[in-house]
Amino acid sequence: MFLKLNFLFVALSLLFTLESKDLKGTEKFHPYHVGSVEINYNSKSKTFEITGRFFLDDLENGLAKKYGKSLHFNDEKYKTQLNEALKNYSAEYFRLKADNKFLKVNYVGYEEDSESVNIFLESETLTSPKKVEAAVSFLYNLFDDQINIVHIIVNGNRKSEKLAYPNRYLFQQF
């Protein structure tokens, strides 16, 4: 499943990182701001396992704007501060509800590479949900053109939706 999420993120990155030409014909970089969030119900652990994937520089800038200090991925001396900031940031910009009950979502950790960061979260336990609601607004504090592609998977049934700023709410029936 991680491979599919990784492939989708790379494909979206290529799609949304285009070069365009201005009126004078010179090439200019035109960035789009996109992330993905996968909310996967694990029937064995009876929890939702959530993975958010974002561009490293966008997430650094979003955290800096939110908390008023620079934090840098790929630098070991910031790891403790990044964990605390990501825990708080995730709690504010991600909410999950199943069958009309808000779920406690715990921050598990993060993983980084040279261009992106995965944020890992896990919900409290619940029986197989029929209705899933999510509020996803990662990086809305930074960009007014942020797009978050959200995948909700319950018992192998995958439903996806695009949330573009300022839209942050979605629900799916299973």
Q: What is the pTM of this model?
A: 0.83
d(CA 32, CA 49): 27
β-strand partners of 134: 96, 170
What pLDDT shows up at residue 31? Answer: 73
Q: Could you tell me the residue ranges of all domains in the chain?
A: 36-173
The string of pLDDT tens digits covering residues 90-122 is 999 999 999 999 999 999 999 998 899 999 999
Residue ranges of the chain with per-residue pLDDT less than 70? 1-30
112-145: burial string, b at 16+ Cβ within 10 Å, e else:
eeeebbbbbbbbeeeeebeebbbebbbbbebbee
Supply the pLDDT for residue 20: 33
Query: So what's the pLDDT on residue 32?
Result: 83
* Tokens representing residue 138 in the block: 């990662």
Neighbouring residues of 106: CB distance < 8 A, sequence distance ≥ 6: 121, 122, 123, 124
